[in-house]
Structure 1
Amino acid sequence: MKFAKQLVAALFVFSSLSVMADDRGLYLGGGITRVETDEHQLSDDDNAYKAFVGYRLNPYLAVEGAWVDLGNFDGKYGDFEGHSLQATAHFGVPVGQRVRLFASAGVHAWDADNDIAGDSNDLDLTYGLGVEVDVFRNLGVRLEQEVLKVGDLDLDQTSASVYYMF
C-alpha cells in the first residue's frame, strides 16, 4: 500500500486528461457583428456578419479562420464598405466545465470598396478578447471584442456568435 497515494493521484490526472481530450476538434460558427469607428468623417457604426471555422487543439489553444463583412459607413469625404479574411490563434483559459475566456491574435487581409480607408486592400494585425459558453456538448455561444486596423482606420468589432463542434 506504499503506492496507494501515487496510484490515486495518477488515476486522477489521467481521468482529468480524458475530460480535456473531449474539448478538442473542428468547429464551425457564425454570428452578427457590430463594427464601430471613432473616425469623425464616417458614420459611427454598422451591423455586419461573421463566419468562422477553427480547430481546438486543447482547452487552451485553438486556430481559426474567419470571413467578416466589415459593414458600410457613409462619410463626408467618401464611403467605406469592406470585408476581411482572418487567421487567428485563440489562447483560452477554461473557467469551470462550460466557460472559456480567451484572447486572440492574428492577421487579417482586408479589402475596401471605397478609398476612405487609404489603401483598397492590405494585410494588418488583429487582436481581441472574448468568452465562450458551451451550452450543450457540441453547441456553444461566443461574445468577443476585436480591434482591426484597416488602412488609416481603426475598427472595433463586437461579435455575438453560435458555434458547433464536430
Structure 2
Amino acid sequence: MNFAKQLAAALLVLSSVNAVADDRGLYLGGGLTKVETDEHQLSDDDNAYKAFVGYRLNPYLAVEGAWVDLGNFSGKDGDFEGHSLQAAAHFGIPVGKRVRLFASAGVHAWDADNDIAGDSSDLDMTYGLGVEVDVFRNIGVRLEQEVLKVGDVDLDQTSASAYVMF
C-alpha cells in the first residue's frame, strides 16, 4: 500500500512536467566546486571554481562550454595541479515551472602541472547529474555532480553555481 502512494505521488509530479515559456537562450554562470579523488597516491580533495557559458535550445536540451580549475593535490609520487576546458550536452527534464533535473555528457581537454596522472594534457570524457532552480525569471542556481576522467584518475566534482539567462 505504501508503494502505491509513492507511485501515485511520482505520477502526479511527472504529470506536472511542462515546458517553460521562453525557456531557451544564452546563459552565463559560475560557482565553487569541490574536487575529490579516491586515488591512493593523491590527497583526498580540494576546493576550486568553474565558469560556464551555454545555450538552451529548449527545456530539454542545452549545449555548454566550461572552464574548470581542477584544484591542487599532493601525493607521495608527485603532485597534480590542473584545469579543464569542457564541452557538454545537458539533457533536462523540467519539473514544474522552476526546477529542471539534468544529465550531462561531454569531453574535456585538461592540462596539468606536476602531473601524476600520466600525461600533462589530454582529451577525456566527463559526465554528471544535476538540478537547476530558476529563482527569478532569468537568474537561477545549480547543484551538480560530475566525474572527470584525467588520464588514469577519476576526479569527482561537486559544484554549486549561479547563472543568468539572456
Question: Counterpart of 1:33 in 2: which secondary structure?
Answer: strand
How many angstroms apart in 1 are the aligned matches of 2:42 and 2:105? 26
How many angstroms apart in 2 are the aligned matches of 1:80 and 1:66? 20
Question: Counterpart of 1:23 in 2: which secondary structure?
Answer: coil
How many angstroms apart in 2 are the aligned matches of 1:141 and 1:71? 22
How many angstroms apart in 1 are the aligned matches of 2:101 and 2:165? 17
Q: How far does the alpha carbon of each residue in 1:95-128 deviate from its partner, in whole angstroms, 9 at most, with x for none?
A: 0010000000000000011120110000001000
Unaligned runs of 5+ in 2: 1-17
Q: How does 1:7-156 map to 2 (within 5 A)?
A: 20-156=20-156
Question: Counterpart of 2:116 in 1: which secondary structure?
Answer: helix
Tell whether the 8 Å contact from 2:81 to 2:115 is kept in structure 1 after alignment.
no
**Structure 1 position 21, deviation (Å):** 4.3
Deviation beyond 6 Å, 4+ runs, structure 1 = none
Percent sequence identity is 89
Unaligned runs of 5+ in 1: 1-16
Name the residue aligned to 2:6.
none
Over alpha carbons, which structure has the higher Rg? Answer: 1
Q: TM-score, normalised by structure 1?
A: 0.88
How many angstroms apart in 1 are the aligned matches of 2:122 and 2:38? 20
Tell whether the 8 Å contact from 2:32 to 2:48 is kept in structure 1 after alignment.
yes
Q: Which amino acid aligns with 2:114?
A: N
How many angstroms apart in 1 are the aligned matches of 2:120 and 2:151? 8
Q: Which amino acid aligns with 2:79?
A: D
**Structure 1 position 20, deviation (Å):** 3.5
Question: Counterpart of 1:116 in 2: which secondary structure?
Answer: coil
Tell whether the 8 Å contact from 2:63 to 2:90 is kept in structure 1 after alignment.
yes
The alignment's C-alpha RMSD in Å is 1.1
